[in-house]
Amino acid sequence: MGPQARRVPLEEVSVVALGDYVSAIPAGDLQGHDADLAGVPDAWVTVEGEWLHLTFRCSYPNVYLVIVVQAHDNLVMGHYVLDLNEQYGL
């Protein structure tokens, strides 16, 4: 995501329907975590507005499933698990 991203209310962004994408995520991609995919994600947008990162909370504190969307074309580009505990020693 980088340092040049800001959190935005989900209502302010146009988000592609994620249902099919989310249901196709292999369990192994979650690295043993359970993500709250039914919950409302937080939205982060890069300063230039090109990329949107949707963060879904996982069952373990400070761990998120991040879905990356190319904002202009509203295309899901991929996903990853962001573990702030591991990355920053929280």
pTM equals: 0.84
Indicate the domain borders of the chain: 5-88
**pLDDT tens, per residue, the chain with 90 residues:** 555 788 888 777 777 778 888 888 898 898 888 887 777 678 888 888 889 899 888 888 899 999 999 988 888 999 999 999 887 776
Nearest in space to 18 (alpha carbons), one of 66, 59, 72, 57: 66
